[in-house]
Structures are given as C-alpha cells and as structure tokens.
C-alpha cells in the first residue's frame, strides 16, 4: 500500500480535528439566544388593606385622583404598593411610609395613631380617629413585613391562528 499525504495517519487525525472544531463552532454560533428570566410578578397591597385605604383615604381631595397629597396615591392595590411600601415619607423622610417588619416606625401607622413624631394632622383627614380595629389591621400588616398580593397580569401566550382554509 502506498501512503500519500492524504492517507497518512497524522493527516487523517488533523482532518478529524478540523471537522470536529467546525461542528463545535457551528453549534456554538447557533446558541447565541439568551435565556430570559420570567418577569417579576406584579405586586399590590392585599385586598383587606386596600379596602381600608379605598374607604378612608382615596378621595380626590386626599390620596386619590390625578394629584394625590404628598404624591401618595392609594387608589388601587398596585398604586398603593408602589407609593408606600419601602418608600420614604415626604413629610418625614427619616421614616418609611410602610417599613416592612416595623410598624412602630411606619409613617402611615404613625399618622393613623396620631404618633407625636409625625408632622401635620393625624389621618384620615376629617375622619380621625379611624376605627382602632382598622388601624390595628394596617399596623399588623406592616409588622408582618407588609406582604404583597400578586396581581393578575395579561396572558403572555401568543395568539393561536388557524391555518385552515375550510369555509363553512
């Protein structure tokens, strides 16, 4: 048997390595799509707390409407969540409006209890004092870490289209 350059063992190994490298490069080039983490769930104030805000605070002249007092909109669960949980008070920025796990230093609770550390009038305006059971409900929620309620979101599933050409 006559060995030529094409049949030498080292040439065969070199060609196999080159072919393997080409296959790996092709697979690597095809894997450029990045995996995307699912979006964070939309959170809101639990319904039991939002009911208190809606009934006692969310008037257009107070914490409802387009221009809520102190920028603290309490019109719905999502708006309330974004406006109060972990957000510094506009009147006393050293305090969070709702400090998760610390109701004694949550400014909303201070306002509802007429705490002497607050600024301005106790809340709700014109209806102070709020029923102590409702104040306790808000304070307990804050003390328990101000857990949110996951809000429903629109379906992320793509619409299904029929490719049928049957007409009935």
Residue 55's DSSP bridge partners are none
Q: Would you state the pLDDT for residue 157? A: 47
Minimum mean pLDDT among 19-23, 100-104, 136-140: which range? Answer: 19-23
Q: How far is CA 57 from CA 127, 145, 155, in A?
A: 10, 22, 32
* pLDDT recorded at residue 96: 98
Average pLDDT rounded to a whole number, residues 98-126: 97
Residue 1 located in a structural domain: no
Q: What pLDDT is recorded for position 153?
A: 76
pLDDT over 90 at 165, yes or no: no
Q: Measured between alpha carbons, how far apart are the two ends of the chain, in Å?
A: 74
Distance CA 145, CA 150 (A): 15
Q: How many separate domains does the chain show?
A: 1
- Residue in the structure block whose two tokens are 């429903």: 152
pLDDT mean across residues, the chain: 85
In a domain, 105, yes or no: yes
- Model-wide pTM > 0.75: no
What digits encode the pLDDT tens for the residues 83-101? 999 999 999 999 999 999 9
pLDDT band at 77 (very low <50, low <70, confident <90, very high): very high
Whether residue 166 lies inside any domain: the answer is no
Task: Classify residue 47: in a domain, yes or no.
Answer: yes
**Domain presence at residue 73:** yes
User: Is 114 a domain residue?
Assistant: yes
- Mean pLDDT, range 62-74, rounded to an integer: 95
In a domain, residue 152? The reply is: no
Look-up of token digits 């049957």? 166
> pLDDT by residue (tens digit) across 23-65?
666 666 565 566 788 888 899 999 999 999 999 999 999 999 9
Instruction: Find the domain containing 138 and state its range.
Output: 43-145
25 vs 164, more confident: 25
Q: Evaluate whether residue 119 is within a structural domain.
A: yes
pLDDT at 6: 53
């Amino acid at each position: 048997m006559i060995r030529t350059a094409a049949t030498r063992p080292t040439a065969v190994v070199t060609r196999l390595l080159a072919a393997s490298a080409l296959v790996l490069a092709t697979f690597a080039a095809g894997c450029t799509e990045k995996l995307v983490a699912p979006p964070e769930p939309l959170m809101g104030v639990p319904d039991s707390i939002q009911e208190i805000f809606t009934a006692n605070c969310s008037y257009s002249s107070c914490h409802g409407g387009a221009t809520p007092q102190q920028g603290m909109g309490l019109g719905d669960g999502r708006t309330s969540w974004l406006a109060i949980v972990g957000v510094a008070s506009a009147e006393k920025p050293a305090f969070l409006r709702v400090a998760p796990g610390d109701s004694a230093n949550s400014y909303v609770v201070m306002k509802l209890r007429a705490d002497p550390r607050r600024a301005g009038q106790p809340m709700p305006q014109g209806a102070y004092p709020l029923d102590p059971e409702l104040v306790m409900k808000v304070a307990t929620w804050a003390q328990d870490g101000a857990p949110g309620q996951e809000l429903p979101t629109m379906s992320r599933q793509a619409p299904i289209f029929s490719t049928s050409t049957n007409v009935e």
